[in-house]
Amino acid sequence: NSSSGHQNATVGTGRGGHLQIVAKEAIMISGAAGHKPNSGLVSNVFTAGKGGMIEVSTPKMEIQDNGTIQDGTQGDGNAGNISLNVERLSIQQGGFVTTESKAAGEAGTIRITADNLTLHQGAVTSQADQAGGGNIFIKGNGRFYLVNSTISARAQGEQPHHKGGNLQIEHP
């Protein structure tokens, strides 16, 4: 099993690159179920640089079988943000969208706008192990299914300013 996808990485003090994908029909990110590394779109910061943004716009998107969209930091720089603007979004069977901080940098923000959103054994998370957590904003206009899935914004930093992120779901 092998992985595929696109990865941006910042290893110095510079800012990470902006990854923007606009598809006219559909995007599918499918990992190898139960195997690592995962397939996906990834942007990571390893030192003081700030993470780049991942931005996706398409009518239909499926993330499944441990496929991922991830923006993270393992250094002092903050993770970048993720923005998904999709008519029909399905995150299932271990697929996930996440911003994460493994060090002093803050986790990024996730913004999802989808007419129809299905999470079935999938996850949308923003987490920080030693810093402040990022925010998650989900805006839906149609169906919203959540089955055996996780939407979570958390922080484990020990300083008073290391607060967990906000979670906002807006659905008429």
- pLDDT at residue 12 in the model: 55
Taking the C-alpha atoms of residue 112 and residue 97, their distance in angstroms, rounded to an integer, is 10
Q: What is the pLDDT of residues 129-141, one digit of tens each?
A: 887 778 999 999 8
Query: In this predicted structure, what is the pLDDT of residue 106?
Result: 83
In the three-class reduction of DSSP (H, G, I as helix; E, B as strand; rest coil), residue 58 is classed as strand
Distances (CA, A) of 70 to 97, 143, 158, 172: 6, 25, 24, 28
Per-residue pLDDT, 11: 54
Residues in the chain predicted with pLDDT less than 70, given as ranges, are 1-15, 33-37, 157, 160-162
pLDDT of residue 24: 97
Task: Provide the b/e sequence for 125-143 (b: ≥16 CB within 10 Å).
Answer: bbbbbebbbbbbbbbbeee
